[in-house]
Amino acid sequence: MTSEKGKVMVLQGNEAAAIGALAAGVDFFAGYPITPSSEIAELMSRSLPLLDGRFIQMEDEIASMAAVVGASLGGARAMTATSGPGFSLMQEHLGFACLAEVPCVVVNVQRAGPSTGLPTQSAQGDVQQTRWGTHGDHSIIALAPSTVRECFEMTIDCVNLAEFYRTPTVLLSDEVIGHMRESVCFPQAGTFKLESRAVPTEGLPDYCPFEECGEFVAPLSPYGGEYRFHVTGLTHDAHGFPTMVPHEVDHKIRHIVGKIEDRADDLARHEELATEDADVLLFAYGSTARVAKASVRALRKKGIKAGLLRAKTIWPFSGKRLNELADRLDLIVVPEMNLGQIVLEVERAVRGRVPVHRFGRVDGRLFEPDQITDFVLREVGR
């Protein structure tokens, strides 16, 4: 079926993410099958060879992330997909990619944990791991889809942001979004923007792969290209060689954090529902936000002026819109399929000006609208 905009297909969220990766020009995928993300690897394994790309099933997620980093340094648009236990194994190489400023994409289709947990059930328990899973000071970009179409769109966004910022990015999906099916109307090819990483100009006399040169990231030459350069997981200078000089170390760490955190408001993407006159605000993301929309409508029918602020960008976290709403709110409720992870950032953003109540679910099941509605009614004394 087609429309004026493009082809319409009924897809799982995982399938839409894989198609988004292909549309964004991803030409390398290394991974290891893991529920509930395996459909992404399966589709990429069939599609990439037909597009002159490369698919490799590695022996585990540690090797998968290493291969993705190496392919990206070779000039590929590289991606992997996993779930909680595999994401844990990837953390060391994610830290390497943060420090070495290697663009790459990880799709994390969250499932209930910890450990192997509930492999076929959903959760939102990897939010803080996404931000702080690897050791040391760093930053990261993570987007959270709530629809199948957004799995397509946000995968493209993740590829673009990775290439533009020279950093790992994470599509923080979950089992519900990954396996639900919806119709997706795809945009016409060539109608969406694709970013390309900056590359050094030819004949540059002294190429410094980690010197910003007036821009907020340095150009990146592919391995095997015109320039020979050094990459290390040790703290390094502008040439890529290890350094212990305090001001060089300080500059490097502040750079990999600042290039993202200083642009948090620019990277922030939200969706709002009935916030114009809201007294009670639901702050949600991912599949939980779908349920929260129904709760807002139910609360409105009961006379509660409820609204929804849905975060599409999880990291870096921007409190700008929350700050704009906080002074006229009586209550903020944060439903999450965890025991309270993004709620900590909401509390930090509003600085005590409005009560923030957490509402967690950790049994592997998605919230039901009545659960959120009843929780809000209890909190407001109705």
Kindly report the number of other CB atoms within 10 A of residue 214's CB atom.
5
Q: How far apart are CA 123 and CA 100, in angstroms?
A: 31
Decide whether 8-185 matches 270-379 in CATH topology. Answer: yes
Closest CA to 375 of 332, 344, 339: 332
State the pTM of this model.
0.95
Give the ranges where 302-368 is alpha helix by DSSP (H): 320-326, 343-350
Q: How far apart are CA 82 and CA 109, in angstroms?
A: 6
How does pLDDT run along the chain (382 residues), one tens digit per residue? 343 467 899 999 999 999 999 999 999 999 999 999 999 999 999 999 999 999 999 999 999 999 999 999 999 999 999 999 999 999 999 999 999 999 999 999 999 999 999 999 999 999 999 999 999 999 999 999 999 999 999 999 999 999 999 999 999 999 999 999 999 998 887 788 899 998 887 677 788 899 876 567 999 999 988 888 999 999 999 999 999 999 999 999 999 999 999 999 999 999 999 999 999 999 999 999 999 999 999 999 999 999 999 999 999 999 999 999 999 999 999 999 999 999 999 999 999 999 999 999 999 999 999 999 999 999 998 6
pLDDT computed for residue 330 by the predictor: 97
**What are the phi and psi torsion angles at 360 (to 5°)?**
-110, 150
Domain ranges of the chain: 8-185, 270-379
pLDDT computed for residue 2 by the predictor: 40
pLDDT computed for residue 214 by the predictor: 58
At the topology level, CATH places domain 270-379 in: Rossmann fold (3.40.50)
State the DSSP string of 146-212.
-SHHHHHHHHHHHHHHHHHHTSEEEEEEEHHHHH-EEEEEPPPTTSS-------PPTT-SS--TT--
Supply angle C-alpha 96, 101, 107, rounded to 5: 70
Contact 288, 367 (CB under 8 A): yes
- Asked if the 8-185 domain carries CATH number 3.40.50.970, the reply is yes
